[in-house]
Structure 1
Amino acid sequence: MTVTAQMVKELRESTGAGMMDAKRALTETNGDMEAAVDWLRTKGLAKAAKKADRVAAEGLIGVAVSNGKGVAVEINSETDFVAKNADFQALVNEVTNVALTTGNDIEVLKAAHLNGKPVYEVINEAIARIGENMTLRRMHILEGDTIVSYVHNSVGDGLGKIGVLVALKGPADKAQAIGRQFAMHIAATAPLSLSEATLEPSILERELAVQTAKALEENASSAKPKPEQVIHNNIIPGRMKKFLAENTLLGQAFVINPDLTVEQAAKEAGVEITGYARVMVGEGIEKKEEDFAAEVAKALQG
């Protein structure tokens, strides 16, 4: 597979690696972006990549909470200009409130009624009225004894670029008091899961493979190599423990008080975090890079 300059650019931006290192990684992995990231990490040339940060879609996240149930809904637009439109914001608010009455199924939400019409029809009418394509992309429902919400980069009540929901068990007043702090923490750190038990096995397997290859390679090139038993019994488990502490919510250092983990902070407050959701506009959508000059040239050629 031909390694293009755009591929090298994307890999550099997502890993912080140098240009030649990025190019070599892509060459060694036949252009596989994920494998190239792992190759760079094995060589100690890149930081861990949690999730793709390439955000293409514009739009808003709407959040709403009622009676122990919280919902986060993403509606995309083509431009950020439309996301600032009062008509669009009202639409996101209304659809989010409807989502509180549906199950956790985007198709059910699209068919649910809003002002006497199916939600999808209301969105189509907004597309015709505002003049820009819009997509009801996804929703997430969270239930618990107490649900606390937070929106980052807020443009209005319950509207922003990142929506967070946190479910807590314990006295409602205590849960409400510290829940917003936990929600802000989640917005900032984007944990991969609540705990090790809820982390996708494939993520752990991939990280273990990277850390094993990295530790063995570092040991092989060391002036004083350690016995392989030390590598497998001490160094690799230590690195995996660090990975879990950095990427699971309960294991992370609490941003408000880094001397405590989030789990410890919750215990001190007399509550337990039972679940969370973090939804960011455009997350996971890769932006197609447009070559405007080539596009114009193509149009001129008919």
Structure 2
Amino acid sequence: MPARRFDKGVVRNVRRAAEISQAAVAQALGVGDSTVAGWETGQSAPDPEKLVALAKVLKRDADDLFPRDGLPDLADLRCDAGYYQYETGPLIGTKSAGPVAGAERGVRRLKDKYVSALAAAYGVTEQELRRAEDRSMAKGEDQAVAGAIDGSTADQPRPPAGPPGSLAEKITLLLDQSFPTPGTTPSDAEIAAAVNARAGAQVVTEQEVRDLRTGAVEAASPVVLEGLAAFLGVTPLYFQPDDLVARQVFEGLQLLSAHRKGKVGRVRARGAGAQGLPPNIMSLVNDLVTEMEQKQGDEASE
């Protein structure tokens, strides 16, 4: 998941508007005056572990001052709580940060006995922590799946990343996979405008879309969900609590990602995901592979 974005000009302007000196910021964060000056001139940037505290000093919400485009993974939760990775061992009662480091890299999941303590330290619920862990696992899974399709890392299995559960995860998954090129992802304002246009009335605002996307609000009216589905190109059933539909969309997007990377051919032989692809998705795989093979043949003959 993307880290928070830091803009030196925005920080400088906010600090000046609040009439807070660089020295005051430095003292509050435990850094030198020159360090804060360096942040504002672009010579350096604050550690991600400092951003939430910096926003607090400047009397601004961190999501507003340092936004992120997606939902947080484990590393993001840790940074938001102000902990460096090496500090997490004592949080879960271990001598080293190994368990947390492994989970953040998507190598292995946290043991159940660590979850409660870590969630409390990060100021989130255990469910939020597990969902962030799923996103960290997904990063490792993406790398493992790509390697397994090539046959290069088949002996290095990673914990599978399941389909999205919450409404925010469902929206984020579609945005990430449907608009993979940087700078092409529609803004919250554009999404709201599209939903309102379809409804023929203002049924959602830019802020409300942002709240849905970030998980601040966990439910939306049927007319908003229908508009989101139409804009993002999925059936409205995708946003309902139906695991089968969500899984099929998830697997379909994985297939699309493999297609973009030119690695879909071997998916036909092995399927994808922890339980393989559903029959209807496998049918799509076969059709897509055939289409790609024909296209490659045409290009070779030119």
- State the TM-score, normalized to the length of structure 2: 0.26
Structure number having the greater helix percentage:
2
- State the TM-score, normalized to the length of structure 1: 0.26
Structure number having the greater strand percentage:
1
Higher relative contact order (CA 8 A, sep 6+): 1
